[in-house]
Structure 1
Amino acid sequence: MAPGRVIGVDVGAVRVGVALSDPAGTLATPLVTLDRDETTWSDLDQLVELVAEHEVVEVVVGLPRTLAGREGPAAQAARRYVEDLREVLAEHSVTDLPVTLADERLTTVSATRMLSDRGVKGRAQRRVIDQAAAVEILQTWLDARRREPDEASP
């Protein structure tokens, strides 16, 4: 993995949670929640601005699969979001940025539980749950990437 910041994205029907790694690619932290707009793609434009602002080297988008590993409508929506993001990146002359899908099974459940344990409930949870899920997606991906060289050695 090239050194630099990575953005994690949790795509929802109404909101998009965004997390950002540190430059070493070790720790994911919440960044922002964007309002989803399938008409104007303003959330995609904002995501591209975040990519430029934070000098991001890769974008990781959560792919929601069922517990059995199957893909349903939410996974298809995430795949369409990735296609749309790549299109908007190309419109901004960003053609070499990897956009990766990462399994996100149970990340929202895990994020909800963590926020509840910290006393964040109800309405207060709505705006941050997407960021927390994006952190879960990105942190899991970062941890797996760091383990890859160890698994490849004898």
Structure 2
Amino acid sequence: MRILGLDYGSKTVGVAITDPTGLIAQPLVTLKRERESMLRKTLKEIAELAERYQAERIILGLPFNMDDTEGERAEKTRAFRRLLSARVNVPVELMDERLTTMEAREILDESGVPRAEQKRVIDQVAAQLILEAYLHERAMEEAKQPISGKEE
């Protein structure tokens, strides 16, 4: 089962994907557009990626403010989700993405990636972090489920 992770920004969308087992997230690509409102091509590219990789769901980062409120960026992300959901045949779920870009920058800094090159991959790494958070949350939920059919 493959899952796409998205870090939606004003001019870029970072994309990450799980391995075929759905356990490991890795950066995939950064989709770029000239203006924030030019979404048609971006939506098409994401739909094509979902189909090519046979993704069973898409996880879209939702940027909450640090005080748990939603600002303008969250509103735009929710609108993007509605547009994307109309284009793909898989569920599009939201995942808290607070601080993922900062964490991605720290990872790239620690990995020795020069700042000039970080711009090319930072959104992909942020998408990977969003996807990893989703996978972790899902694993925690599954661990809470009782094992059926087993007597104690």
TM norm. shorter chain > 0.5: yes
Instruction: Output the CA distance in 2 between the equivalents of 1:68 and 1:121.
Output: 32
Where does residue 147 of structure 1 map in the other structure?
140
RMSD of aligned alpha carbons: 1.5
1:44 match: secondary structure: helix
> How far is 1:74 from its partner?
1.1
Where does residue 71 of structure 1 map in the other structure?
70
**Which protein has the larger Cα radius of gyration, Structure 1 or Structure 2?**
2
> How far is 1:40 from its partner?
5.1
- Sort the Cα spacing of 1:40 and 1:74 in 2 relative to 1 into closer, same or farther, 3 A: closer
Residues 8, 138 of structure 1: 8 Å contact kept: yes
Structure 2: where are the runs of 5+ without partners? 148-152
> How far is 1:153 from its partner?
3.6
Where does residue 48 of structure 1 map in the other structure?
47
* Residue 13 of structure 2 corresponds to residue 16 of structure 1: yes
Where does residue 138 of structure 1 map in the other structure?
131
Instruction: Output the CA distance in 2 between the equivalents of 1:55 and 1:40.
Output: 22
Structure 1: where are the runs of 5+ without partners? none
Q: 1:127 aligns with which of 120, 124, 131?
A: 120
2:136 match: secondary structure: helix
Structure 2 counterpart of 1:129, which letter? I
CA deviations on 1:45-76 (whole Å, 9 max, x unpaired) are: 00000001000000000000011111111111
CA deviations on 1:15-60 (whole Å, 9 max, x unpaired) are: 1000000122111000000013533510110000000100000000
Instruction: Output the CA distance in 1 between the equivalents of 2:9 and 2:117.
Output: 17
Equivalences, count: 145
Residues 85, 91 of structure 2: 8 Å contact kept: no
Where does residue 61 of structure 1 map in the other structure?
60
Q: Name segments (4+ residues, structure 1) moved above 3 Å.
A: none
- Percent identity at matched positions? 38
> How far is 1:130 from its partner?
0.2
> How far is 1:131 from its partner?
0.1
Residues 6, 13 of structure 2: 8 Å contact kept: yes
Residues 62, 74 of structure 2: 8 Å contact kept: yes
Instruction: Output the CA distance in 2 between the equivalents of 1:124 and 1:29.
Output: 18
